[in-house]
């Protein structure tokens, strides 16, 4: 069944205290009492649990999905709780998700602990609303338009070929999630920098991994702690990116990658500062790496667990491989558009795994929804996983079933990349790299899962137990 490792549990518990002692969240507590008896009847049903701690221990002492689904069954699709030091309203309906993220998005701001903002960078686009956010989002989307993605296909294909040729295929046990992290990092740097010098790429990777490890650690700034190490690595990242930015400025080449788009942006006569550019580059790396790596890890597990489906995917991909002179020619953009079975595997894996299980937003004013009050300062969490696993929208939701994507799902019932102004601007790139990796996996390898074939760990995204240890053998 579901296992939550001690590391993940302790890491998540430490977040509780970082929230509790944040001044901002103290204000949330005061807001809770300020509404007190006056509006208590208007608050959604649910429990706020113990003072300060709320229901956080209940949440992280079990599978979080069980926590949310049990409360939904008890209280309905709108309920309150108190986790991570914050009073929260949970929303588990498509209509509510659309209300918070689309139609009334201006009433709910993105919210993150200050410690996390500091590691990524306060100027990263997903910490903002309004004009600055719109400007940065357009720049990111511009660097990931269809023409740009089309041009990346042969480079992603070559990256996948190289990654799977290094240590795969000998029957050696590998940690699938860690390998997919390496792959997604390479693709991320391709999209951001184009072809980056090896010396820069290695330094970026080394320091980024330290920041990534400290991101969910206890935010205590003492020598030797993971958080302190992450802060130091983040400063080194700033200097490395500063050098890359300086070199690109000197060359004055009109590159169309993300860095080129950020450097060429002029808004009212103002250009982005080097720190703003660095923050957004690190933010894109964070958004692109672990999420995509998690999905690819799940795809490998789902295909392993569904032999008939795996054979159908193999037949589809082998037909493409044969047309490419047994893989001697790179994949083309057109070929990635004729993978209907594989594409449905990607969609169903996104639904089943629901890597982004929920989002944190914060009400900037008192908001009324469906007769309930959402007080100013309260956190609001659209529960994507609950919606993706609701039998009202997806029959037999725990079954891996491609037929559910023969027609488009009902609006706002399938949101693996979010919706609205903060939806992931790199979703097409993510799906493309998943398809390309599927092609290389099924046409070159067979595999077996080592050890337990069930269980989930959260780090913080859900991945199969122990990162899915797998033995790969190269096909003849």
Are the C-beta atoms of residues 78 and 369 closer than 8 Å to each other?
A: yes
DSSP H or E segment with residue 276: helix 274-305
- pLDDT tens-digit readout, 111-159: 887 888 889 999 999 889 889 999 999 999 999 999 999 999 999 999 9
Q: What is the pLDDT of residue 399?
A: 96
- Looking at the chain, how many residues does it have? 476
Rounded distance between C-alpha atoms, residue 470 and residue 355, angstroms: 20
Helix axes 274-305, 226-251, angle to 10 degrees: 110
Q: Which residue has the tokens 């200050």?
A: 114
| Alpha-carbon dihedral sign for residues 342, 161, 144, 209 | positive
Rounded distance between C-alpha atoms, residue 84 and residue 66, angstroms: 17
Rounded distance between C-alpha atoms, residue 233 and residue 239, angstroms: 10
Q: How many CB atoms lie within 10 A of CB 35?
A: 19
Are the C-beta atoms of residues 381 and 88 closer than 8 Å to each other?
A: yes
**Rounded alpha-carbon distances, angstroms, from residue 145 to 23, 152, 195, 256:** 40, 11, 18, 10
Q: How many CB atoms lie within 10 A of CB 68?
A: 22
DSSP H helices, 84-225, are 94-98, 114-120, 130-143, 146-166, 176-193, 198-214
Are the C-beta atoms of residues 173 and 415 closer than 8 Å to each other?
A: no
Rounded distance between C-alpha atoms, residue 124 and residue 277, angstroms: 8
Is 261 annotated to bind a ligand? Reply is no
Radius of gyration of the chain (CA): 23
Residue 110's φ and ψ, nearest 5 degrees, are -60, 145
Low-confidence ranges of the chain (pLDDT < 70): 1-41
Q: What is the pLDDT of residue 427?
A: 94
Q: What is the pLDDT of residue 165?
A: 84
Q: What is the pLDDT of residue 14?
A: 43
pTM of this prediction exceeds 0.85 = yes
Q: What is the pLDDT of residue 276?
A: 96
Q: Which fold has domain 1-122+356-388?
A: 3.30.43
Rounded distance between C-alpha atoms, residue 430 and residue 413, angstroms: 20
| Token code pair at residue 108 | 């709910």
345 closest CA partner among 389, 282, 404: 404
- pLDDT tens-digit readout, 270-303: 899 999 999 999 999 998 889 999 999 999 999 9
For the chain, the domains span 1-122+356-388
276 closest CA partner among 299, 256, 258: 258
Q: What is the pLDDT of residue 30?
A: 42
How is the beta sheet containing 445-449 ordered, strand by strand?
Answer: 170-175, 469-474, 445-449
């Amino acid at each position: 069944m579901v296992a939550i490792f001690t590391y993940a549990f302790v890491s998540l518990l430490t977040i509780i205290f970082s929230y509790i002692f944040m001044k901002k969240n103290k204000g949330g507590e005061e807001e809770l009492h300020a509404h007190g008896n006056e509006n208590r009847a208007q608050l959604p049903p649910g429990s706020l649990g113990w003072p300060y701690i709320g229901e956080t221990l209940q949440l992280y002492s079990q599978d979080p999905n069980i926590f949310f689904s049990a409360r939904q069954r008890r209280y309905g699709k709108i309920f309150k709780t108190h986790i991570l030091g914050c009073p929260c309203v949970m929303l588990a309906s498509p209509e509510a998700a659309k209300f918070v993220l689309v139609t009334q998005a201006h009433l709910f701001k993105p919210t993150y602990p200050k410690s996390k903002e500091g590691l990524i960078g306060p100027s990263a686009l997903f910490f903002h609303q309004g004009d600055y956010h719109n400007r940065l989002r357009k720049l990111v989307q511009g660097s990931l338009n269809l023409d740009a993605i089309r041009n990346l296909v042969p480079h992603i294909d070559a990256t996948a070929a190289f990654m799977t040729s290094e240590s795969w295929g000998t029957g050696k046990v590998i940690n699938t999630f860690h390998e997919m992290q390496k792959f997604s990092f390479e693709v991320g740097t391709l999209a951001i920098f184009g072809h980056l010098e090896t010396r820069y790429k290695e330094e970026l990777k080394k320091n980024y991994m330290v920041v990534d490890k400290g991101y969910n650690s206890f935010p205590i700034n003492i020598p030797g702690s993971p958080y302190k190490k992450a802060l130091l690595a983040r400063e080194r990242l700033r200097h490395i990116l500063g050098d890359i930015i300086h070199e690109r400025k000197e060359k004055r080449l009109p590159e169309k990658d993300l860095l080129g788009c950020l450097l060429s942006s002029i808004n009212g006569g103002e250009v982005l500062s080097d720190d703003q550019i660095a923050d957004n580059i690190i933010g894109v790396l964070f958004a692109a790496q672990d999420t995509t790596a998690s999905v690819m890890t799940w795809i490998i597990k789902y295909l392993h667990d569904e032999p008939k489906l795996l054979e159908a995917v193999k037949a589809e991909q082998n037909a493409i491989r044969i047309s490419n002179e047994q893989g001697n020619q790179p994949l083309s953009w057109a070929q990635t558009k004729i993978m209907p079975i594989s594409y449905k595997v990607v969609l169903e894996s996104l639904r089943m795994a629901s890597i982004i299980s929920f989002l944190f937003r914060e009400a900037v004013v008192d908001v009324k929804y469906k007769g309930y009050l959402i007080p100013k300062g309260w956190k609001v969490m659209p529960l994507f996983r609950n919606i993706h696993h609701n039998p009202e929208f997806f029959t037999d939701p725990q079954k891996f079933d491609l037929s559910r994507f023969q027609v488009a799902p009902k609006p706002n019932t399938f949101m693996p990349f979010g919706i609205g102004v903060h939806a992931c601007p790199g979703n097409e790139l993510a799906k493309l790299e998943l398809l390309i990796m599927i092609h290389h996996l099924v046409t070159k390898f067979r595999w077996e899962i080592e050890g337990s074939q069930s269980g989930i760990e959260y780090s913080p995204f859900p991945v199969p137990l122990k990162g899915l240890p797998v033995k790969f053998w190269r096909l003849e």
